[in-house]
Amino acid sequence: MHKSTIDLHMHTWYSSDGEYQPDVLVKMCAEAGISVMAIADHNCVKAVKPAQAASKEYGIRLIPGIEIDCTYENVNFHVLGYGIDVSDPVFERIEQNVTDQGLNASAVMLEGVRRLGFDISEAEMQALDQGRYCKGCWTGEMFAEVLLNKPEYESSELLKPYRTGGSRSDNPYVNFYWDWCSQGKPCYAEVKYPSMEEIIRQIHSAGGIAVLAHPGVNLKGHEALLAGIIDLGIEGIEAYSSYHTEEVSAYYVKAAENAHLLITCGSDFHGKTKPAISLGQTGLAIKESNVLKALSERGLLSI
């Protein structure tokens, strides 16, 4: 996949499934040739200020961002907020709401994984908490990491697709999450997220613009919902994503153009939970100068 010097979707350790400290991630972006970046941690803005300091050191332009979980028509979505005032107290409330529920959801998910026939303990999960920001909020990726490293499950048929050479081995940890722990799957633990309408309103109140994240993932099978989502007031669509094929990207580029929305690109880089995804791996197929111009017109960037 074509590498871009613009990457507006990546995660630090402030995301429950992220790996790197903000300053380290900025350094990695510099080494990868990224010139414009946005950190969009899950429901958290704490990485933005330290990343801003580091971005000045490396000569990278950084757009303040966040990725917020929300729901629309009973389907879970992610909305990116760009150009936000990260000191707005609304973001502390958003983070606290998800964290409070995440502790209980972790226990529910643990029981779900056990029902699959695996012997996995709280102590094993807690061992992965060392050095994590989101302690006690376990993810499907963390359960996969434990299971795939337990010798007694080396021959497990259920885990076979996630091992080297398997059909889901490109990003084994996150693929396990999508297959077993995401919405509608056997180990899913419900967390009540705000409505998309409310999240768009809160992003706007914090001076930002709202962009629908990787629609090829969350809208798959729900494409008819896009018109209603646009009516809610989003300003952009992440048409270019590491998850999208060229055909999927083209579909959402056309949808964005028809609605006069901003077209953005992002790798959704996390680190070890998605090893097949690298910084700048956005699939961007239009001129970078056009993206920069559009970001400038929206007040997100000076060019």
Separation of alpha carbons 30 and 20, rounded Å: 14
Please indicate, yes or no, if residue 263 is contained in any of the structural domains.
yes
Task: Count CA atoms closer than 13 A to 39's CA, side-chain side.
Answer: 33
Please indicate, yes or no, if residue 51 is contained in any of the structural domains.
yes
What does the pLDDT look like over 129-162, one tens digit per residue?
888 999 999 999 999 999 999 999 999 999 999 9
Q: 149 with 123, same domain?
A: yes
Domain that holds residue 123: 107-181
Alpha-helical segments (H) within the chain: 22-31, 48-58, 90-115, 122-127, 140-148, 172-176, 196-205, 215-218, 226-232, 246-258, 288-297
Name, in order, each residue with C-beta under 8 angstroms of 145's C-beta and a sequence gap of 6 or more.
Answer: 128, 173
Q: Of 181, 211, 241, at which residue does a domain stop?
A: 181
Share of the chain above pLDDT 70, in %: 100
DSSP 3-state assignment of 178?
helix
Q: 199 with 82, same domain?
A: yes
Please indicate, yes or no, if residue 134 is contained in any of the structural domains.
yes
Q: Of 136, 156, 181, at which residue does a domain stop?
A: 181
Q: Which H or E element spans position 264? A: strand 262-266
Separation of alpha carbons 195 and 210, rounded Å: 13
Separation of alpha carbons 142 and 170, rounded Å: 16
Q: 85 with 211, same domain?
A: yes
Bridge partners (DSSP) listed for residue 66: 81
Q: 197 with 293, same domain?
A: yes
| Structure token digits, residue 260 | 């006069």
Determine the angle formed by the axes of helices 22-31 and 48-58, rounding to 10 degrees.
30
Across the chain, which has 303 residues, the per-10-residue mean pLDDT values are 91 96 98 98 98 97 98 97 98 96 95 98 94 92 97 98 97 96 96 97 98 96 97 98 97 98 98 95 96 97 84
Separation of alpha carbons 124 and 140, rounded Å: 14
* Amino acid (one-letter) located at 285: A
Q: 37 with 173, same domain?
A: no
Report yes or no: 173 and 144 within 8 Å, Cβ to Cβ.
yes
| Structure token digits, residue 59 | 């000569």
Please indicate, yes or no, if residue 101 is contained in any of the structural domains.
no
Task: Count CA atoms closer than 13 A to 118's CA, side-chain side.
Answer: 28
* Amino acid (one-letter) located at 100: D
Pick from 187, 239, 179: which is nearest to 214 by CA?
239
Please indicate, yes or no, if residue 186 is contained in any of the structural domains.
no
The pLDDT, as a whole number, for residue 1 is 65
CATH number of the domain residue 215 falls in? 3.20.20.140
Please indicate, yes or no, if residue 31 is contained in any of the structural domains.
yes
Q: Of 181, 212, 231, at which residue does a domain stop?
A: 181
The pLDDT, as a whole number, for residue 130 is 86
